Amino acid sequence: MKDPFGRKITYLRVSVTDRCNFRCTYCMAEDMVFLPKADILSLEELDRICTAFVHRGVRKLRLSGGEPLVRRGVMSLFRSLGRHLDSGDLDELTLTTNATQLAKHAAELFDCGVRRVNVSMDTLDPKTFDALTRGGRLHQVLEGVEAAASAGLGVKINTVALRGVNETEIPDLVGWCGQNGFDLTLIETMPMGEIDADRTDYYLPLAKVREQLQSRWTLTDIPETTGGPSTYVSIGETGKKVGFITPMSHNFCESCNRVRLTCTGKLYMCLGQDDHVDLRAAVREAESDGPLMEAIDKAIAHKPKGHDFVIDPATKTPSVQRHMNVTGG
Ligand code: SAM
Ligand code: SF4
């Protein structure tokens, strides 16, 4: 599949649920109202849509959420999607998780063909972790991470850089990832969905973090690109990579290779735009995949050139009204 700007679409990210056992302050409001269960795609429908994308040339699938591992029966979806790895139609099946349920599922994920996981963890301080996630226990996450590594899964840690929250801890986090053999990706906060706080208060530009890292570690730029918004450095002392995702301060859209599906079947062609196509109607319209394929093709033909994330300084409202847990990170 090629979009109107000649970009090949090979990567689908799927939010399998908008629900989560955490309420990270930058992601959700404390009293989040979740989508009605009746609106959520069944696991079979999710499989059908993912499979249609694989048949259209998608080579990488990432399940996300909300927290993907709290969705009941989600392992059966991993199991069935694993068949596309076996057939050679898919290169990678992976997930982004808060790792609270990873100790339970790591071995089975490996068995389904998953080889790498992204784990979101913003701090190594139990108190900060509790406050940031509104009640999360850090030790549960660390156990999950350990179980993943023991099961043979590669682990990448995702950390949102937050001014005044984990700002001073990031150099230590680089050290901790190095000791454990994990790559690390640092993320700037994105203005997605109303939360209880003002995001501009803890927006921390990664250029500043990079400067801070340079005083402790030896950073060398590496020219790697995944078609995503990251730029990478290698850390001389640990040999591991650190990625910087800077959606607010840089434009990375020229090489975008991905689209995103919500758990209600809305396909967003860009994380930073509200345009979407309803694949649930298409999947429910017929038992054959004709209408679904047609809807996918129409969607790709409308992929926008790029995002325009801003936090409106006058109203302080986010530029994208839906929360990250709806679209999947
Ligand atoms: N629950 C899983 C987790 O936390 O890994 C998967 C979903 S979560 C929405 C995916 C990623 O989005 C996480 O790494 C999280 O830190 C990030 N995220 C959530 N809200 C964000 C925001 N407003 N700006 C930047 N990153 C955000
Ligand atoms: Fe849940 Fe992930 Fe959002 Fe945190 S970032 S509230 S773990 S979906």
Report the C-alpha gap between 187 and 231 in whole angstroms.
11
Q: Strand 230-235's sheet: what is its strand order? A: 219-222, 230-235, 241-245, 183-187, 154-160, 116-120, 92-97, 60-64, 11-15, 258-261, 266-268, 276-278
Structure tokens at 102: 């990873």
Structure tokens at 57: 């040339």
How far does the centroid of ligand 2 lie from the alpha carbon of residue 22, in Å?
A: 6
Q: What pLDDT was estimated at residue 196?
A: 77
Q: Which of 14, 18, 24, 245 is the pocket-test mutation for ligand 2 (most atoms within 8 Å of CB)?
A: 24
> How far does Cα 145 stand from its chain's mean position?
17
Q: What pLDDT was estimated at residue 304?
A: 83
Q: What pLDDT was estimated at residue 311?
A: 52
Ligand 1 atom with the shortest distance to the CA of 327: 9
96 lines ligand 1 (CB under 6 A): yes
Least distant ligand from the CA of 94:
1
Domain boundaries, the chain: 11-327
Q: Which of 217, 220, 223 is nearest to 234 (CA)?
A: 220
121 lines ligand 1 (CB under 6 A): no
How far does the centroid of ligand 2 lie from the alpha carbon of residue 291, in Å?
A: 33
Q: What pLDDT was estimated at residue 237?
A: 97
How far does the centroid of ligand 2 lie from the alpha carbon of residue 127, in Å?
A: 17
Q: Which of 58, 201, 28 is nearest to 120 (CA)?
A: 28
132 lines ligand 2 (CB under 6 A): no
Backbone angles phi, psi at 240, to 5 degrees: -95, 165
66 lines ligand 2 (CB under 6 A): yes
How far does the centroid of ligand 2 lie from the alpha carbon of residue 68, in Å?
A: 10
Amino acid sitting at position 75: M
Give nearest CA residue, ligand 1 atom 14. 120
Note whether 61 and 94 are within 8 A (CB). Answer: yes
Q: Which of 160, 307, 327 is the pocket-test mutation for ligand 1 (most atoms within 8 Å of CB)?
A: 160
Give nearest CA residue, ligand 1 atom 7. 65
pTM here is 0.92
Task: Specify the 3-state DSSP secondary structure of 94.
Answer: strand
Task: Specify the 3-state DSSP secondary structure of 17.
Answer: coil
Residue 6 burial (CB count, 10 A): 7
Backbone angles phi, psi at 122, to 5 degrees: -100, -10
Q: Which of 285, 259, 275, 289 is nearest to 49 (CA)?
A: 289
Structure tokens at 26: 């930058």
Note whether 296 and 267 are within 8 A (CB). Answer: yes
Q: Which of 17, 19, 20, 25 is the pocket-test mutation for ligand 2 (most atoms within 8 Å of CB)?
A: 20
Task: Specify the 3-state DSSP secondary structure of 191.
Answer: coil
CATH code, 11-327:
3.20.20.70
324 lines ligand 1 (CB under 6 A): yes
295 lines ligand 2 (CB under 6 A): no
Q: What pLDDT was estimated at residue 255?
A: 81
Output the tens digit of pLDDT for each of the chain's 329 residues: 999 889 999 999 999 999 999 999 999 999 999 999 999 999 999 999 999 999 999 999 999 999 999 999 999 999 999 999 999 999 999 999 999 999 999 999 999 999 999 999 999 999 999 999 999 999 999 999 999 999 999 999 999 999 999 999 999 999 999 999 999 999 988 776 777 777 667 889 999 999 999 999 999 999 876 666 678 999 999 999 999 988 765 466 788 899 999 999 999 998 778 889 999 999 999 999 999 999 999 999 988 887 665 555 455 555 566 666 666 55
Report the C-alpha gap between 273 and 245 in whole angstroms.
18
For the residues of 213-240, what is the DSSP string, one character each? Answer: HHTTS-EEEE----SSSEEEEEETTT--
120 lines ligand 1 (CB under 6 A): yes
How far does the centroid of ligand 2 lie from the alpha carbon of residue 288, in Å?
A: 35
26 lines ligand 2 (CB under 6 A): no
